[in-house]
Amino acid sequence: MAAVATDRPQSAAAAKKGADDYVRIVDVRKEFDGFVAVDDTNLDIRQGEIFALLGGSGCGKSTLLRCLAGFETPTSGKIYLDGQVMNGLPPYERPINMMFQSYALFPHMTVEQNIAFGLKQDGLGKDAVRKRVEEMLAMVQLGKLAKRKPHQLSGGQQQRVALARSLAKGPKLLLLDEPMGALDKKLRSQMQLELVDIIEKSGVTCVMVTHDQEEAMTMATRIALMDAGRIRQVGTPDEIYESPTSRFAAEFIGSINMFDGKIDEDRAEYITIVSPSLPVPIYVGHGVSGYEGQAVGYGVRPEKVMISKDEPAQPHNKAQGRIEDIAYFGSHSVFHVRLPSGYRVMANFANQQRWASEGMTWGDEVWVAWGDNEGVVLTS
């Protein structure tokens, strides 16, 4: 079977200077009256990529974004953009533009006037302003709506105007604060890819803040997962999802079955884990950095779990239980199987047609199982 690409390719700018540390955040710390919002954070962002700061409320992602923009002053640490120190520069002197969640469009101005506002403030000539506005309108495909005012536009159209205004001055860095927060779910899914297309065409380096996993996974080249003011993991969407480095990362992104246990056998080629949740050991088909008796977590995604009425032949990584609930999502169903230990396993089943899941239904006795290398061993 051919390999399937799961990560967004780099833009031309990112591919050209992908190894460069275009944006550098070095030991940045931000305190508010003794509360540490950003805790000695270090981060390198490549030129031309779309980089997401992902985390829950209060994790420090918005504070870090505001430090980049110049709206907050770091308590300590340095911020560099294209080799230049940003510390001490007010927002209006930084080659950075920020698009706010509310879009902050001027209600009394037309689309073209909103886009032109920053250019006129910089003293650009009338002809140059008109040309640049036309370029931005073409990029966001709103040329026919140039004379309309914000209240005459849809949510998605307002977002594109805000993006065009943010890009009009040709910033080195574009900051997006919860860019999809004001849109309904259906429009949000549509606009994610449209926004990415516009940003990649512009070639600008972009840092976005979001609490939405799907948004980050869809839009970003790379993701920094934040918690309690710290960066917990940095990687591509595929790396973050398939190879989390901590229980926090594993449980924050997507759904996962997490089994607590201890390493029973520790070999160079494999390990086994004994968990009170399962009747047989977990077998991991590769070595890990650990030792016998060490407490670990073992996570396996629901889509990696097979479900069947027949007992699998394998001696490990299986359990019998009873179907307690079924959630139907159209393309797939999620089976919740209660084991004798009381643990509830989630297993995804792809639907060819509704309830074509081998005749399995509520209350049925079934087996759940997974392969030797389908899960991840977590020590933190």
Percent of the chain with pLDDT over 90: 81
Q: What pLDDT is recorded for position 18?
A: 47
The CATH architecture of the domain made up of 255-378 is: Beta Barrel (2.40)
> Which CATH number applies to 12-248?
3.40.50.300
Kindly indicate the confidence band of residue 186, based on its pLDDT and cuts at 50, 70 and 90.
confident
Type of residue at 4: V
CA angle 312, 318, 323 (to 5 degrees): 95
Could you read off the pLDDT of 135-177 as tens digits, one per residue?
999 999 999 999 999 999 998 899 999 999 999 999 999 999 9
Could you read off the pLDDT of 269-325 as tens digits, one per residue?
999 999 999 999 999 998 898 999 999 999 999 999 999 999 999 999 999 999 999
Could you read off the pLDDT of 81-100 as tens digits, one per residue?
999 999 999 999 999 999 98
Query: What are 17's two structure tokens?
Result: 């200077």
Query: What are 65's two structure tokens?
Result: 């974004």
Sheet holding 84-85, edge to edge: 35-45, 23-32, 76-81, 84-85
For 215-268, give the DSSP string. Answer: HHHHH-SEEEEEETTEEEEEE-HHHHHHS-SSHHHHHHSS--EEEEEEEEEE-S
Q: What pLDDT is recorded for position 14?
A: 47
The segment(s) of the chain belonging to CATH 3.40.50.300 are: 12-248
The segment(s) of the chain belonging to CATH 2.40.50.100 are: 255-378
Distance, in Å, from the CA atom of 86 to the CA atom of 305, rounded to the nearest integer, reads 48
Distance, in Å, from the CA atom of 357 to the CA atom of 366, rounded to the nearest integer, reads 12
Q: What are the residues whose beta carbons fall under 8 Å from the beta carbon of 358, sequence distance 6 or more?
A: 308, 309
Chain centroid to Cα 280, Å, comes to 35
pLDDT above 80 for 9: no
Q: What are the residues whose beta carbons fall under 8 Å from the beta carbon of 2, sequence distance 6 or more?
A: none
Type of residue at 272: T
CA angle 104, 108, 110 (to 5 degrees): 85
Q: Could you tell me which of 309, 313, 302, 310 has the C-alpha nearest to residue 336?
A: 302
Distance, in Å, from the CA atom of 251 to the CA atom of 376, rounded to the nearest integer, reads 12
* Structure-token match 């607590």, residue found: 260
* Structure-token match 């890009």, residue found: 167
Q: What are the residues whose beta carbons fall under 8 Å from the beta carbon of 185, sequence distance 6 or more?
A: none
Kindly indicate the confidence band of residue 60, based on its pLDDT and cuts at 50, 70 and 90.
very high
